[in-house]
Amino acid sequence: MKILNSWLNEFGAFGDDNEKLAEAMTNLGLAVESTSKVGTPVKGVVVAKVLRTERHPDAEKVHRVYVDAGDGKELHVWCGAFNMKPGDLIPLATLGTVMPDGRIITPRGILGIESHGMLCSGTELGLTADSDGIMILPSGLKLGADLFDALKIASDCVFDLDVTRNRPDCNGYLGVARDLGAHLGVKVSPPQGDKAKKGPARKLKVTITDKKRCARYNMTVISGVVVGDSPSWVARRLSNSGMRPINNVVDASNLVMLELNQPTHAFDADKVNNGFKIRCARHGETLLTLDGQVRDLESGDLLICDGKDTPIGLAGVMGGASTEIGANTKTVALETAWFESSGVARTATRLGLKSEASMRFERGVDPHGIDLAVSRFAALLRESCPNLVVHSAATDVKEKTLPPKQKIVALRSSQVTRILGVKLSTKAISAMLAKIGFITKSTSSSKLSNSAILKIAVPSWRPDCETEIDIVEEIARHYGYQNLGKVVPQSTMHGRLSSIQQRRRDIRELVLSMGLSEAMPNPFLAPGDLIKSGLPEDNVIRLANPLVYEESVLRTSLRPGLLKAINFNLSHRASNILLFELGHVYPAGQQDSVEGLPAEYESLCLVGVGESSALALDWWSQISSVMGFGAQLDQAGVEPGYHPKRSAILRRGKQVLGCVGEIDPRVLAQHQINTSVACLELNLSILLAETPRVVVAKPVSRFPRSDFDLAFSVPNSQSAGSVIKALRQAGGAELVDLALFDIYRGAGLPKDSRSLTFRLCIQAADRTLTDAEVTAIRQKFLDAAAKLGARLRD
């Protein structure tokens, strides 16, 4: 909502300290998005008349305009706008004029032909917010006169307010003035209505069939209308408010709307057959609206029809073309109504037809402000139509569904203290509320709640105030948020990270220290992306209304996003590509057992380009040591998308923790990645939920240890892991350290075997092991290995 200082001052003596006004509005919750000055005189701009125009064969985008600036001489100007014709009056910025944007007008022209000034648009002169082409001035102005003097333009200030949804009244000057007046102690008066005597009775029949959707409908007949341009002050007001002046009738309707937040619609009474009928549309009906478009109607749309049931308007949204005000309109049938908000919202949204009127009906208009709106419309139109007659006996249908003039809301004074933290007397509360038209009807005290109870009558222009807390907010606004104080509450909780959050940070720190950088790929995938990554796409969750088709599938794994990121970085020749992501994934076809929502868990994925599974295993062993538990490497099963011969599923009991290894070369080929990619993927929801074990200290053995190496030739079919497992079991408590430190393949070994050398350390906690004991344990190792077909090498 744009508020002009000059206009606001018609509602009360607010003065012109614009900074103070802007601050006051902001403090009331009417956020001032911007403040701009309009109509500041530009010295050197004069009224000139277009004599003739001429094209130049070598200049396509401009033409030559010859003007008379009052001295009878013909001046030549280049101009890029084509909206003027000979005889039009236009503003000419003469040579040397300093424009509001700082440009200085010089004779420099084009094609070597000079320009003796510049023709101006309203925007260039700071007169209008937006404009098409050069400003065409009203006829009768003196040529050569200073433009700003001739138009009697005084400078003005425009406040652009961000009116929140809960303040429909502030979509009109009266609402803003009321709040501001209460805040600044300025008396506010509503605008003057029409004072002329009413004319003879003329009544148009109105039938309402949908009484919920239309609870009040005033139809007033106004004759003696002469359609023409509005006076220039009206046009300027509308332009400065961001609206386009159209004709005196439509402009008067718009002024009333801006002043009182009450949309009105003027029909050409002579084009309406037999009165009005307000009903819901039937499926298949159409209406040609004012903007020249044929609208297909649905049964939820509320229509204004004529007495013969032909649609002539979309209630609260837009009028129809058939009854539009035209140059020959003599009599206006003025509709001033109250339409139910959600119905208007639905129709406007469905048709993409958000108008100034529909926005206001959507937010809410004052059901009891209609009489003033009708009278004000007549007063404004009378300025350009001196013979205007407002006929008596206007139809004014009020249905029982119409919201009442006042609503009574009970307010406990104790609640004001409890929520706002300040103690206010009932007197102070009543006085504060009275200023915005909220009248205290009675005050009683309740022993039970140890509080006074005020019965507040909320006026009909504030449909948002329905409950006690709404009144508390009004008190807070008018008491001033900044006066409510700042107190830091003493938290009765201990600030800390949960075990899960701490473990997540620990993993994150570790992954960063291993040199991986954090990526955040799009969680939405294109259909086919999963398949490209070797993953199934059955039963995935899809978006019902994706922005684009390419982002319509919820990821079941972090891999596709990281593979895309790898491809992107390779295409930019990045080296040492080590990336990770920590984020939610949504496994296909699984459901959260409690709420029935699609399943969702936190996943961690690490990728290293040009790296093998050795690096992925190193990542896992480091993470596993930070997490405090390990997992079995299961190479029997293969996770789709991984290299079938170079990956393992990480199992811990029955749980699958994740997968480690390299990405399937076929998947890499699909992503134009010509090198191996190491990958580790973990289900963090499982990993983090594990409660870290508290370690109980064991005394360090004071007895000597005995170290020896054993080299076995092990058949390829037997994994190193199984040999390690067997040795561990064989060693029992005395085996304190075991490491696989050499692997050899080559000559001197049986076929399909490799040599694995282990360094073992045995030690007892309570004594020195005898040579015989050491020999016995060594033999146990050999026996255990032999069972797996591993033979000690010579």
Partner 1 sequence: MSEQNLVGSMTAAINEAKKSAMLAIRSAADLAGLRALSADLNKKDSLLNSFKSEMGKLPSVEDKRSIGQLLNAAATEIAAALESRTREFVDSEISARIESESLDLTELLVQRRRGHSHIVTQATQRLEDVFIGLGFQIAEGPEVETDFHNFEALNMPKSHPARSEFDTMFLEYGEPNSVLLRTHTSPVQIRVMKSWKPPIYAIMPGRVFRRDTPDATHMPVFHQIEGLVIDRGITFAHLAGTIESFTKAFFGSEFTSRLRPSFFPFTEPSAEFDIRREDGEWIELGGCGMVHPNVLVSGGIDPEEFSGFAFGFGIDRMAKERHKVEDIREMYANDLRFLRQF
Interacting residues with partner 1 between 420 and 449 (CB under 8 A)? 420-422
Task: Name the minimum Å distance from CB 227 to partner 1.
Answer: 36
Q: State yes or no: residue 622 binds partner 1 (CB under 8 A).
A: no
What's the CA angle centered on 162, arms 158 and 166, to 5 degrees?
Answer: 135
Candidates 148-156, 481-489, 668-676, 774-782; binding stretch for partner 1 (CB under 8 A): 481-489
HSE-CB at 656 with a 13 A cutoff on CA atoms is 12
Q: Does 547 bind partner 1 (CB under 8 A)?
A: yes
Stretch that binds partner 1, among 593-601, 665-673, 698-706, 749-757 (CB under 8 A): 593-601
> Which residues in the 698-727 window bind partner 1 by CB under 8 A?
none
Among 434, 484, 786, 792, binds partner 1 (CB under 8 A): 484
Please, which contacts does 250-258 make with residues 24 or more away whose CB atoms are closer than 8 Å?
250/325, 252/377, 252/380, 252/381, 253/377, 254/356, 255/380, 256/373, 256/376, 256/377, 256/380, 257/172, 257/356, 257/357, 257/360, 258/172, 258/173
Closest CA to 82 of 60, 110, 98: 60
Choosing from 2, 407, 584, 651, the residue that interacts with partner 1 (CB under 8 A) is 584
Rg over alpha carbons for the chain, rounded to the nearest Å, is 41
Residue 18 or 701 with smaller CB distance to partner 1: 18
Residue 476 touches partner 1, criterion: CB under 8 A: yes
Give the other-Cβ count within 10 Å of 244's Cβ.
14
**Residue 663: count of CB within 10 angstroms of its CB:** 28
- Name residues contacting partner 1, limited to 486-515 (CB under 8 A): 486-498, 501, 505, 508, 511-515
Among positions 58, 538, 595, 752, the unique one binding partner 1 when judged by CB under 8 A: 595
Scanning the structure block, which residue is given the tokens 């911007």? 34
The two three-digit tokens of residue 784, written as one number = 């255990």
CB 538 within 8 A of CB 648: no
Quickly tell me which residue has 């001052």 as its tokens: 9
Residue 716 CA to chain centroid, in angstroms? Answer: 61
Nearest one of 127, 126, 106 to 117, comparing CA atoms: 106
Instruction: Choose, by CB under 8 A, the member of 473, 506, 634, 690 that binds partner 1.
Output: 473
Instruction: For residues 604 and 631, give the distance between their C-alpha atoms in angstroms, rounded to a whole number.
Output: 16
- When the beta carbons of 303 and 553 are compared against partner 1, the nearer one is 553
Q: By CB under 8 A, is residue 345 in contact with partner 1?
A: yes
Could you tell me if 559 and 580 are in contact, meaning their C-beta atoms sit under 8 angstroms apart? Answer: no
Question: Structure tokens of 416?
Answer: 């004001």
Closer to partner 1 by CB, 467 or 775: give it.
Answer: 467
Answer yes or no whether residue 527 interacts with partner 1 by CB under 8 A: no
CB 33 within 8 A of CB 160: yes
Name the minimum Å distance from CB 455 to partner 1: 19
Q: What is the DSSP string of 573-590?
A: T--S-EEEEEEEE--TT-
CA torsion sign for 464, 467, 473, 476 is positive
Residues 596-615 that bind partner 1 (CB under 8 A): 596-598, 600
d(CA 468, CA 410): 6
- Candidates 47-55, 288-296, 484-492, 717-725: pick the segment binding partner 1 (CB under 8 A): 484-492
Residue 521 makes contact with partner 1 by CB under 8 A = yes
Nearest-approach distance from CB 180 to partner 1, in angstroms: 13
Query: Smallest gap, in angstroms, from Cβ of residue 369 to partner 1?
Result: 21
Cβ closer to partner 1: 122 or 561? 561
Shortest distance (Å) from residue 688 CB to partner 1: 11
Nearest by Cα to 111 from 63, 75, 52, 50: 63
Residue ranges in 357-386 that form contacts with partner 1 under rule CB under 8 A: 362
Shortest reach from residue 548's CB to partner 1, in Å: 9
92: tokens are 């000419």
Cross-strand pairs, 649: 634, 659
User: Among 270, 434, 481, 708, which residue sits at the site for partner 1 (rule: CB under 8 A)?
Assistant: 481
Quote the CA–CA distance of 414 and 425 in Å, as a whole number. Answer: 10
Contact residue for partner 1 among 97, 128, 131, 341 (CB under 8 A): 341
Calpha distance 278→300 (Å, rounded): 13
Cα–Cα nearest to 384, from 192, 194, 230, 195 = 230
3-state secondary structure string, 315-342?
CCCEEECCCCCCCCCCCEEEEEEEECHH
Q: Compute the distance between CA of residue 564 and CA of residue 442 in angstroms, rounded to an integer.
A: 69
Residues 259-288 contacting partner 1, CB under 8 A: none
DSSP 3-state of 80: coil
Closest CB 577 distance from partner 1, rounded Å = 7
Determine contact, residues 192/210, Cβ cutoff 8 Å: no
Our CB check for partner 1 shows the closer of 306 and 468 to be: 468
- In the set 338, 461, 586, 642, which binds partner 1 (CB under 8 A)? 586
User: Is residue 418 a contact residue for partner 1 (CB under 8 A)?
Assistant: yes
With H, G, I as helix, E, B as strand and everything else as coil, classify residue 609.
strand
Stretch that binds partner 1, among 56-64, 227-235, 516-524, 723-731 (CB under 8 A): 516-524
Of the candidate spans 38-46, 303-311, 342-350, 385-393, the one that interacts with partner 1 by CB under 8 A turns out to be 342-350
Total residues at interface with partner 1 (CB under 8 A): 88
The residue written with tokens 């990956």 in the block is: 647
Residues 453-472 that bind partner 1 (CB under 8 A): 467, 469-470, 472
Q: How far is the CB of 593 from partner 1 (least distance, A)?
A: 13
Contact string 154-173 vs partner 1 (x = CB under 8 A): ----------xxxx------
Nearer to partner 1, 62 or 585 (CB): 585
The nearer residue to partner 1, 389 or 454, going by C-beta atoms, is 454
Q: How far is the CB of 228 from partner 1 (least distance, A)?
A: 39
Q: Does 559 bind partner 1 (CB under 8 A)?
A: no
Q: Which of 277, 477, 503, 643 binds partner 1 (CB under 8 A)?
A: 477
Candidates 169-177, 584-592, 648-656, 752-760; binding stretch for partner 1 (CB under 8 A): 584-592
Distance CA 200, CA 202 (A): 6
Q: In this chain, which of 81, 145, 419, 724 binds partner 1, going by CB under 8 A? A: 419
Q: List the one residue from 583, 610, 640, 665 that touches partner 1 (CB under 8 A).
A: 583
Cα separation, 198 vs 196, in Å, equals 6
- Which residues ranging from 305 to 334 are in contact with partner 1 (CB under 8 A)? none
| DSSP-assigned letter for residue 39 | -
- Structure-block tokens of residue 518: 């954090």
Query: Smaller CB distance to partner 1: residue 689 or 765?
Result: 689
Apex 391 CA angle, 387 and 396, nearest 5: 145
Please tell me whether residue 181 binds partner 1 under the rule CB under 8 A.
no
* Rounded least distance, CB 439 to partner 1, Å: 21
Question: Should residue 563 be labelled a site residue for partner 1 when binding is judged by CB under 8 A?
Answer: no
Smallest gap from Cβ 489 to partner 1, in A, equals 4
Closest CA to 263 of 199, 216, 207, 309: 216
Place of tokens 């979509």: 171
Which one of 328, 387, 482, 593 is in contact with partner 1 (CB under 8 A)? 482
Shorter beta-carbon distance to partner 1: residue 82 or 568: 568
Residue window 23-62: x/- pattern of binding to partner 1, with contact defined by CB under 8 A: ---xxxx-x-------------------------------
Q: Is there binding between residue 517 and partner 1 (CB under 8 A)?
A: yes
Does residue number 349 form part of the binding site for partner 1 (CB under 8 A)? yes
Other beta carbons less than 10 A from residue 263's beta carbon: 25
The residue from 186, 246, 541, 686 that contacts partner 1 (CB under 8 A) is 541
Contact between 551 and 526 under an 8 Å Cβ cutoff? The reply is yes
